[in-house]
């Protein structure tokens, strides 16, 4: 599952939970507002942590894939170069014959 989908599900779940808490809580408006402020701050902190964690993971994945692609590009370049030399040699041999 992509990070965007997880983040979207997390935010949607958090919002639904907040709405349900407001609808079913037998508390005064002041208490509810305090809890809502606390919840909002905590959710914001969790979202920041989530973004930081995934940012680092994505950065690491990009570095690893870049290294793999560099190795693969070098290997394929060597293979193509070898084939080109072999083909050039065959053409040279045909011209001499």
* C-beta of residue 58 within 8 angstroms of C-beta of residue 3: yes
Q: Which domain holds residue 48?
A: 3-96
> Rg of the chain over CA atoms, in angstroms?
29
Kindly report, residue by residue over 70-83, the tens digit of the pLDDT. Answer: 999 999 999 999 99
Kindly report, residue by residue over 7-65, the tens digit of the pLDDT. Answer: 778 888 887 787 777 777 677 778 878 888 888 899 889 888 888 888 888 888 889 99
Confidence of residue 95 (pLDDT cuts 50, 70, 90): confident
Exposure string of 10-25, with b = 16+ CB inside 10 Å and e = fewer, is: eeeebeeeeeeeeeee
Q: What is the reported pTM?
A: 0.43
pLDDT of residue 46: 87
Q: How many domains does the chain have?
A: 1
If you ran DSSP here, which 8-state letter would residue 52 be given? H
């Amino acid at each position: 599952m992509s990070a965007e989908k997880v983040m979207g599900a997390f935010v949607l779940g958090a919002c639904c939970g907040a709405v349900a808490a407001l609808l079913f809580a037998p508390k005064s408006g002041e208490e509810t507002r305090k809890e809502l402020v606390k919840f909002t701050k905590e959710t914001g902190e969790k979202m920041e942590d989530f973004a930081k964690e995934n940012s680092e993971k994505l950065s690491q994945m990009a570095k690893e894939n870049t290294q793999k692609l560099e190795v693969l590009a070098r290997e394929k370049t060597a293979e193509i170069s070898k084939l080109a030399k072999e083909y050039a040699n065959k053409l040279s041999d045909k011209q001499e014959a």
